Structure 1
Amino acid sequence: MTSKAERFRIKRSSRAGRPRKADVARYPGGQIKHGETEREVRSVAIAARQRQHFSGMKGVDAGSSFAGYTLGRMFLDGKLTAHEREAGDEYARQMARYYSLTGIPFPSVRAQSLFSVKGFEGETTAERTRAARAATNRMMELEGVLLKLPDGPRVKTTVFNVCVMDYEVLRTMPEPQLAWLKRGLTELHWHLGLSREKAAV
């Protein structure tokens, strides 16, 4: 038989907190099993992205793959054309290839795990050496293209910071800096041979 104090403790604990949810799958310990679907998780992520990056903007597809990085968001904002975005994507791809083949850690902190940053193990094959040399030559070629433009160092730095470093603050860059970015991306577009019709841009 339970004592009066025990009955009082049971009665008080049964009233504490909110009532348990009914008809919910639970683990043996009593915790609710979370069975979120991919659609629910995606909708939460898209709503957060809409709030953070596109608040007050109507008609922007926050679920688009372009909304996940600064260059793509500038394209969705209408500041860059599809040709310029495509050139920036290809430039970033070439730079990522250069960093991965030469063993240099990717410079953007957001793109890596800080606790596993290291070069490759020193095991080099003739094929890897050839690929690293080709990627290095390609990187220097693209940098040369940008540096030959008027205001070349500024153009190169702006393109690198937007496309590779992915600095969100540059999404609201002033007009002169945006002109440098557009100049660099347009030149890269033609140099990389992404379009044959120059009049289309």
Structure 2
Amino acid sequence: MMSKAQKLRAKRKAQLGRPRKANAERFACGKIKPDWSKRESEKEAMAVALAARKRMHGLETSSSFAGYTLGRLFLDGRITEAQREAGDDYAKGMARYYHLTGIPFPSVRAQAIDRVQGHAPETSEERHRQIKRATERMMRLEGVLLGCDEGRQVKTTVFNVCVMDYEGLRMMPEAQLLWLKRGLNALVFDKGLHDYGERECSFNNL
């Protein structure tokens, strides 16, 4: 007969970890057999999504780039990989600025769908530093775009493609595409200068 202490230890041991899966098919070693029906349903869901993507956007690919306007422009061959990366970095910088400052994200169609509404700013010193850095980066990026020829059109086009993610801009005319490329090229150049400057500072501090 078990003592009270032994019963208590046995009860605690039984409560440890995840409960054993009931009615699950297992291999001889005890490992649960994979649920092939679930995998098949996932494949079917993926097939439906790809068919919808092909029907709506004319793209037969599982690439994540097909999920947003800038990526589709890249898949169409209208912008280069470096330009796409610069546009993605710009979108991330703007998303971080909105998120940290608490300013509502301007579009529910934008890439950072979980950041449509930013959080209220906190009063911690580290939070203030993060907000300051994000704001400075946003202002620098906007200054780069506005510094291009026809800067206002360039800035608006880049913002509408990379942040607002307007699908209609995938078929933009060549003149507007030139504004987009001009802005993205300026962002590529600025990123190169910025990264080079940071590397120089780190080398000098060695």
Which consecutive residues of structure 1, in runs of 5 or more, have no partner in the other structure? 1-33, 55-59, 197-201
Residues 108 and 116, structure 2, Cα contact 8 Å, conserved in 1: no
In the alignment, structure 1 residue 50 sits paired with structure 2 residue 49: no
SS, match of residue 79 in structure 2: coil
Residue correspondence of structure 1 range 138-177 to structure 2 within 5 A: 138-177=137-176
Instruction: Tell me the TM-score normalised to structure 1 length.
Output: 0.71
Instruction: Tell me the TM-score normalised to structure 2 length.
Output: 0.70
In the alignment, structure 1 residue 95 sits paired with structure 2 residue 94: yes
Residue of structure 2 in register with 1:39 after alignment: 43
Distance 1:139 1:46 in 2: 35
Which consecutive residues of structure 2, in runs of 5 or more, have no partner in the other structure? 1-36, 197-206
Paired residue total: 156
Residue of structure 1 in register with 2:123 after alignment: 124
Distance 1:117 1:190 in 2: 29
Residue of structure 1 in register with 2:65 after alignment: 66
Question: Aligned in 2, Cα 1:189/1:144: closer, same or farther, shift over 3 Å?
Answer: same
Specify which structure has the higher proportion of helix.
2
Moved over 4 A (4+): 116-119
Distance 2:182 2:117 in 1: 35
Question: Deviations along 1:133-181, whole A, 9 cap, x unmatched?
Answer: 1000000000001101110000000000000000001111111100000
Measured on the aligned residues, the alpha-carbon RMSD in Å equals 2.2
Distance 1:149 1:138 in 2: 17
Distance 2:177 2:117 in 1: 34
Q: Percent identity?
A: 62
Question: Aligned in 2, Cα 1:95/1:43: closer, same or farther, shift over 3 Å?
Answer: same
RCO greater where, 1 or 2, for CA within 8 Å and sep 6 or more?
Answer: 1
